Structure 1
Amino acid sequence: MNQWSLQLQQKLELAKSLYRDFRLYDFGSYALNRLTPKQGYRVQNNIPYGLKARHRLDLYRTSAPRQQRPLIVFVHGGAWMHGDKKDYGFIGEAFAKEGFDVAVINYHLAPEYIFPASIDDLSLALNYLTQSQHKLQIEVENVVLMGHSAGAFNVMSALYHPTPYQLQVKENIRAIVGLAGPYHFDYKGDPICADAFDQSVPYQQVMPYYFVEHNQVKHYLFTADKDNIVGYSNSEDLDRRLKASGNHSQLIQIPRVGHITMIGSVSSLFSRFFKTKAEIMRVLDEISPR
């Protein structure tokens, strides 16, 4: 077997392994959501933020006394080809019970919709939340963008994009929390996500790493110490680039979690066994108005 064939076989085996992992995650998130407590918060499901079928978000409203906590906008992962907001009720519950309102959004998926469709959707959702804040009874003076995996890429790309977005809430974005995000990699021929990008466009014209600009947003780049999907260099490179531009950035490594288990460890069912949620709460407390 020549070197090229060996590399191809290795990529195919990795893709099959990840497909199995995502299927297991679907089952796990279903179980998590079934077991997630339903008290201490309210949910408004399937709020339309645009005209298309996937232009929907779920809004988790805290029942705790309001303390001017930021609005969290969460974007799921899944290699831009997989995932649904309904699988992340445990995320809404985890932070709504801590006093935050949480918007969990859907976006259009590859291969039918490729980059930058998912970022376009996020931009649309953010503008909708801003325009509808009184109707929805939310506050957008302080916003935290949070995403896992592909979702972390999406929230970072909302600010750092080849064609900057007109975000009405841009000046109110206090922080970005990226969980295991792919911010600087070559997707050409990638067995996991090649179909999510135009293969004729070089990654240097897409990755948020190349479009960093100076601002006052605080960046928290979480990595999983057992991540076998997204390389640590993605966060390390972006951290270096952000700091070189005079931006705040902090690398936070979470022990004993992998790429997919990192997000599951946020669930209130498991958060006491892992550092993920505690570290996110530390970040949120750090940027919350006093």
Structure 2
Amino acid sequence: MKRPMKLLIGVVAVLAVAGGMLMLAIRNNGPAVLDAIDRLTGGTRGVVLVAKTSYGGHPDQKLRIYAPAAATQPLPVLVFVHGGSWRWGDPDDYNFVARSLAPEGFLVVLAGYRLGEDGRYPAMLEDTASAIAHAARLAPRYGGDPARMVLAGHSAGAYNVVQTALEEKWLADGPGRIRGVVGLAGPYDFFPFDSESTIASFGSVEAGAASQPVNHARGDTVPMLLIHGERDTLVKPRNTRALSRALRAAGAPVETLFYEEFDHNAPLVSLASPWRRSRDVDNALIDFARRVSEVSVPVQAETP
């Protein structure tokens, strides 16, 4: 009995150490860990990195463009902007988003933007608008249709894409190409600023109510899908409720999904393998993006 017990204790100890190392890695760079797990458990899904480029001279102003290998027609373009409290994040850690969405019939563009002091308001919006415009120019080269663009983002990235779409001045060079916006756990109503990240990114430059998406709700905006977890303590779900109320009051098309058990990162995790097999966030995002961009069928089936 002693030997099996020692073996069991040893296995438990190894699992505990492995679990601790995983949690540490997630805290240090969660998206990079998700990307590695997704690649190991889900494979490439036939998704190809077709371009690594930039839209400015700052190292954070990067674009990564992914396409499904079997694409045979111009695809709608899905631009995804990462989160990270406007302080950290790298498109190169979000390849799992492209592997989740590109096989369903999209040219996926992962967009970065200036962070920290360099990215203080309104720089993150200037960069998001520039990234969208650059993605539109490049899309035809890689099989994308720039007239059918969908924007998506998580957390700070959700703020970026929603504010860019709502505040008319940012897309003045071509707002008609945007067909829809998806926000995952986004902050849309957070003035006055009371957190370290919002004070650093907005309060330090004396931004005010005009910086808030909820104050730019208008009836002629593009359709929006807003997703939030009820257990999100970092960005409270009231942000999505406030914005959706304002949009509906203005007569704008908006859909919301609230998940009772989800925390702040769960909507993003749901785009990575193996979690996307058991959650419907990816299905909801894909269905919305297809509807607004008039896509009817996937380009290819999932492959190992």
**TM-score, L = length of structure 2:** 0.81
User: Residue 186 of structure 1 is aligned with which of 191, 203, 211?
Assistant: 191
Q: CA RMSD in A?
A: 2.3
Structure 1 residues 250 and 30, CA gap change in structure 2 (3 angstroms): closer
- The answer as to whether partners of 1:256 and 1:274 remain within 8 angstroms in 2 is no
Q: In the aligned structure 1, how far is the partner of 2:94 from the partner of 2:132?
A: 19
Tell me the equivalent position of 1:269.
274
The within-5 A match list for 1:109-120 is 109-120=115-126
Shift of 1:66: 4.3
- The answer as to whether partners of 2:87 and 2:197 remain within 8 angstroms in 1 is no
Query: Structure 1: which amino acid aligns with 2:198?
Result: C
User: Residue 178 of structure 2 is aligned with which of 156, 173, 177?
Assistant: 173
Shift of 1:247: 0.6
User: Residue 86 of structure 2 is aligned with which of 67, 80, 89?
Assistant: 80
Q: In the aligned structure 1, how far is the partner of 2:222 from the partner of 2:230?
A: 25
- The answer as to whether partners of 2:117 and 2:201 remain within 8 angstroms in 1 is yes
- The answer as to whether partners of 2:150 and 2:178 remain within 8 angstroms in 1 is yes
Secondary structure of 2:256's counterpart equals strand
Tell me the equivalent position of 1:51.
57
* Residues 1:236 and 2:237 aligned together: no
Q: In the aligned structure 2, how far is the partner of 1:287 from the partner of 1:112?
A: 34
Secondary structure of 1:226's counterpart equals coil
- The answer as to whether partners of 1:223 and 1:252 remain within 8 angstroms in 2 is yes
Structure 1 residues 167 and 133, CA gap change in structure 2 (3 angstroms): farther
Structure 1 residues 187 and 108, CA gap change in structure 2 (3 angstroms): farther
- The answer as to whether partners of 1:123 and 1:167 remain within 8 angstroms in 2 is no
- Count of residue correspondences: 271
Shift of 1:167: 4.1
Secondary structure of 1:141's counterpart equals strand
The within-5 A match list for 1:8-27 is 22-23=27-28, 25-26=30-31
* Residues 1:98 and 2:143 aligned together: no
Q: In the aligned structure 2, how far is the partner of 1:93 from the partner of 1:52?
A: 26
Structure 1 residues 252 and 175, CA gap change in structure 2 (3 angstroms): same
Query: Structure 1: which amino acid aligns with 2:105?
Result: G
* Deviations 1:54-99 (CA, angstroms, capped at 9, x unpaired): 2210001122444655210000001000110011000001011112
Shift of 1:26: 4.5
More helix by share: 2
Q: In the aligned structure 1, how far is the partner of 2:205 from the partner of 2:290?
A: 43
- The answer as to whether partners of 2:75 and 2:144 remain within 8 angstroms in 1 is no
Q: In the aligned structure 1, how far is the partner of 2:30 from the partner of 2:147?
A: 34
Structure 1 residues 30 and 64, CA gap change in structure 2 (3 angstroms): closer
Q: In the aligned structure 2, how far is the partner of 1:119 from the partner of 1:202?
A: 13
- The answer as to whether partners of 1:187 and 1:194 remain within 8 angstroms in 2 is no
* Deviations 1:233-281 (CA, angstroms, capped at 9, x unpaired): 1111110111111110111113432111320111132101222112212
Shift of 1:187: 5.2
Tell me the equivalent position of 1:132.
138
Tell me the equivalent position of 1:9.
none
Shift of 1:116: 1.0
**TM-score, L = length of structure 1:** 0.85
Q: In the aligned structure 1, how far is the partner of 2:73 from the partner of 2:143?
A: 14
Secondary structure of 1:153's counterpart equals helix
Q: In the aligned structure 1, how far is the partner of 2:192 from the partner of 2:200?
A: 9
| Unaligned stretches of 5+ residues in structure 1 | 1-18
Q: Which has the larger radius of gyration?
A: 2
Q: In the aligned structure 1, how far is the partner of 2:49 from the partner of 2:291?
A: 26
